[in-house]
Amino acid sequence: MKILAVDTATMSCSAAIVADGLLRAELNTVTSQTHSKHLMDMIHTVCGMSKLKIAEMDGFAVTIGPGSFTGLRIGISTIKGLAWSLNKPVVGVSSLDAIAWQCAPSPYPICSLLDARKHEVYYCRYRFSGDELKKEGIEQVAPPDRVFGDIHEPCLFVGNGALLYKGKILDELGESAHFAGWNQHSIQASTVAGLSLARFRHQKTDDVALLVPQYIRKSDAELQLSKKS
């Protein structure tokens, strides 16, 4: 099975091709520019590196959030366009799941943290049981103090939110706070592809027409409308 996966949920942007369970090509970049400026170029580049055409893909995978509202729309609309035009299946993957998987295996529970701006983070907690990553609770958005204020055991933090609030986490948890390696805090498209494999194999794919970003938090426009009403 050949899968093209992309991630545009944060300032990092990633595109990868996984074929027959092996990573064939991957590109990652971190930039303040909109991902629409380089995503398609990255896709064409990984296709060239892997010597595979987009039309040869058996399916597409993409992070669906939480994350940057604009970034998510760019990645999802791009993948939806490819999947729709080629009549290929698509799988949406949680951004928080992907970043947690990049810590496998971990002896500690994992807290995925992505910067949500407005002094908040998107977060979810996980724990490995054998080779399985189990979610503990639901994906949420909250001020960082509320996230780690009730953690009472050693915990591994990962994601750009973990880096942003590292000082606060250390002040609160001290030696109980552990952090992922420097290369694990940005979502890699190869991880997104890996997480999608089982769903492709079991034909548990998403409806292309219904695939939408999972924002968790309302947009600024929705918040303003709520205040007015």
Q: Enumerate the domain spans of the chain.
A: 2-94+187-228, 103-179
2-94+187-228 and 103-179 agree in CATH topology: yes
Question: For 103-179, which CATH superfamily applies?
Answer: ATPase, nucleotide binding domain (3.30.420.40)
Beta bridge partners of 70: none
Strand runs labelled E in the chain: 2-7, 12-19, 22-30, 59-65, 90-94, 110-117, 120-129, 132-142, 155-158, 177-179
Helix, strand, coil percentages, rounded to 5, for the chain? 40, 30, 30
pLDDT in single tens digits along all 229 residues of the chain: 999 999 999 999 999 999 999 999 999 999 888 999 999 999 999 999 999 999 999 999 999 999 999 999 999 999 999 999 999 999 999 999 999 999 988 999 999 999 999 999 999 999 998 888 999 999 999 999 999 888 999 999 999 999 999 999 999 999 999 999 999 999 999 999 999 999 999 999 999 999 999 999 875 555 455 555 5
Separation between Cα atoms, residue 42 and residue 29, nearest integer Å? 9
> Which CATH fold would you assign to the domain 2-94+187-228?
Nucleotidyltransferase; domain 5 (3.30.420)
Which pLDDT score, from 0 to 100, does residue 228 have?
A: 55
